[in-house]
Structure 1
């Protein structure tokens, strides 16, 4: 029976030789740069030195990892390699004879598992859209039909479809879905409870994205890699694999000041300063710092991922001292700051006389890209209920100048928690803030009431190619 640990051990910053002042500076600069943080955990020598969650986010909540999922998929391949059920030299086409094109091009025939891992498949554009557009839901077949203009291993292209293929190959080779394969080998030994992973239409875990776990779980994963694959004296991952996966396997740029051009391993990025990382869209990070014997786990909702890394290098690299500190006059201030972290909600006026007129009134909405058909609002003393109509009705309860938490299917299609609030910007303009607190996403809806008509200005904090704002008009039924 493998030993498990449900929470990481803790020591104060003095005992771990970390400057609390530098950590405070890091937090201050993130705020000054308007980088929306959701959580932060700093480990040194395998112990938690500092952690915090920006309310309404909390330590008990899982968070969507997006492409940070890729590093977990890579880990499964490393484990399968050690178990002898596949090799890095295995060709991709050898696993899917039933899905091959009539004529297999030379570059596709030459593509190996190692090329998927290093993002060197030979494609000239990310394959993900083609997979999602496959009418029959067969993402493997869609991947194998695409042209491969470059010789595999010679051309880096960040390609989420390649990671999906790793998941599909693992399922073929092991007879288990990626999530099920990793549970006894990785998640359970690390004490990671309740991980979830999205699947494609045919039930294969998406691999390149879709994993949701807690911030501390991200930190444990990084610590496992820092410890060269050993957890509580039990080897979970081969050290040779960790060495290969986290070292440069292919060039992805000319270095410089970008942490996206320092070289790429097997689903891990090389960074400046001898650091490596897994990361995901909008600021999900697992940063491993071997020289400092440290790990940093971050979840966020920002488009400025380089800004987060710059602040890590500018403020936290110098925070690690060679010996414990006898007295740190900033440690109490850091503890207080971490305990009070929060994201501000808009607060103007708590109420409007208009509430009695619009209470329960239904509005029919013009055609829009969200496929919303209608909405209505119902107010009471401390809250409001927003009802959005598509094919079915979605109800969201919002606090009056406070967060109210409740389940919803608004973000990502599956049920997850929202934290929502409202305020009146003026007597006829209502502002709703809806946060998906298991995701990076936040929607701000500004609703202007003009007689029997409404105009909704709808904005996401971050998104994949969505317009900055969407205007939706409606009329009372």
Structure 2
């Protein structure tokens, strides 16, 4: 049974609003044939969700790490603060943080404005990813002002999450609230966005470029809001002039970036997050497309999107075609089988002391009982436990370490679905799916004699996708 989304949005058939169901089927089929890891898909047109599908075990009602789609929410806060007279586009950043500016700062730093942050024209040479700052427990505001300037602010577009962080910090300064608290009554509640959280950095600031976890429908609602010029259910949520400015190119004739929105061909625009979290607005067609996945980058799926959208809005379709689409979308939720290549060994408990390693892992424990593996990893911090189905999938929660494989995120009590199969009598393959994220870990354990090796990889990451193989020294 496919999951049902309780986002409060009305539903309609694709053909009833001029969307060709067979084109949507072809889009999904081609994406699958290309081996792309699509986790979720929503299409909205003329006031209705007309198609949605979710790859098992994704639940559309559960929050998901949206990565840099958070930036488009942050842009809303700046637009609202400007409308309330708390900020101006030409306000200079340093005037809000005089105590954080180094004494030997580049003189050009004093020219950096709110608008430069919004348009990613800070003067920095490269991106400062959230994955970098998540490992720093001192002030990120101070870190921002340490970044050298390669260009005069306002001249060169260089995408960087550091700019969005400082916009969030500005909201703290001018409102006395975090970005999330400021947006809650102004944006999240009017759009009926619930079950969302936003990380807090060491300055007490939400990282405006990332760190937002919310149901995928939150991104759809935000995009629809912008496609409707800031109006939601007859109420002006965002100033229309702000939405118009935010969703057109800013900063020069060759720009493809607005105020924390990316411009697309044909007048479309989108919110983007790493590993393919995307909400694309086709305003002239009254349509919004959302996809989420676990892919290396959006360039993998964009050719398929551009082939079928906005072409799919050309009309056509019958009730029979709508039924075919519903069946195709439901098939996304089919649970993959786990089948061992040999009989499972007898129930046992095996505990291994691990050789010295850079991950600080001291011990691995494997307890096989009645088709369930209780796996424990002990490192310098704690013992981390996970229940894993053998030839089956088990849902649960875990704090298994893995920051380096997961774009700098350290998950605590995170949802996980874990299953395992025996590839041969000595080799156990575990799959750990984190359904609220883009990540899926593959762990291969080879038991030879009295020892074990432990190899862990991940489907996508901004850095290395595999850890150094761990090997044991003794078994007890």
**Is TM more than 0.5 here?**
yes
Structure 1: distance between partners of 2:134 and 2:460? 23
User: Could you say which residue in structure 1 is the equivalent of 2:202?
Assistant: 201
Structure 2: distance between partners of 1:291 and 1:304? 27
RMSD, matched Cα: 2.2
SS of residue in 1 equivalent to 2:396: strand
Structure 2: distance between partners of 1:101 and 1:363? 50
Structure 1: distance between partners of 2:467 and 2:398? 22
Offset, 1:375: 1.3
Offset, 1:231: 0.7
Q: How does 1:168-187 map to 2 (within 5 A)?
A: 168-187=169-188
SS of residue in 2 equivalent to 1:189: coil
SS of residue in 2 equivalent to 1:48: strand
* TM-score with structure 1 setting the length: 0.92
Change (3 A) 1:178 1:45: same
Counterpart check, 1:392 vs 2:378: no
User: Could you say which residue in structure 1 is the equivalent of 2:285?
Assistant: 292
Which consecutive residues of structure 2, in runs of 5 or more, have no partner in the other structure?
1-5, 401-408
Aligned residues: 461
Counterpart check, 1:434 vs 2:454: no
Task: Report if the CA contact (8 A) 1:431-1:446 is conserved.
Answer: yes
Structure 2: distance between partners of 1:151 and 1:8? 45
Offset, 1:329: 3.1
Counterpart check, 1:336 vs 2:334: no
Q: How does 1:308-387 map to 2 (within 5 A)?
A: 308-321=301-314, 325=316, 327-342=318-333, 345=336, 347-349=338-340, 352-356=343-347, 359-387=348-376
User: Could you say which residue in structure 2 is the equivalent of 1:101?
Assistant: 102
Task: Report if the CA contact (8 A) 2:21-2:317 is conserved.
Answer: no
Which consecutive residues of structure 1, in runs of 5 or more, have no partner in the other structure?
255-261
Offset, 1:12: 0.5
Offset, 1:14: 1.5
What are the Cα deviations for residues 320-372 of structure 1, in whole angstroms up to 9, with x where unaligned? 125xx57243221211121121476573417645343xx22111223344432
Task: Report if the CA contact (8 A) 2:282-2:310 is conserved.
Answer: no
Structure 2: distance between partners of 1:370 and 1:172? 39
Change (3 A) 1:38 1:131: closer
Task: Report if the CA contact (8 A) 1:40-1:51 is conserved.
Answer: yes
Change (3 A) 1:348 1:183: same
Offset, 1:136: 6.4
Structure 2: distance between partners of 1:335 and 1:61? 22
Task: Report if the CA contact (8 A) 2:338-2:392 is conserved.
Answer: no
Offset, 1:384: 1.7
SS of residue in 1 equivalent to 2:469: strand
Change (3 A) 1:369 1:49: farther
Offset, 1:317: 2.1
SS of residue in 1 equivalent to 2:207: coil
SS of residue in 2 equivalent to 1:150: coil
User: Could you say which residue in structure 1 is the equivalent of 2:259?
Assistant: 266
Offset, 1:134: 9.0
Change (3 A) 1:316 1:222: same
Structure 2: distance between partners of 1:53 and 1:459? 24
- Greater shift in the superposed pair: 241-250 or 114-123: 241-250
Structure 2: distance between partners of 1:57 and 1:203? 31
Change (3 A) 1:37 1:251: farther
Structure 2: distance between partners of 1:430 and 1:134? 32
User: Could you say which residue in structure 2 is the equivalent of 1:405?
Assistant: 395
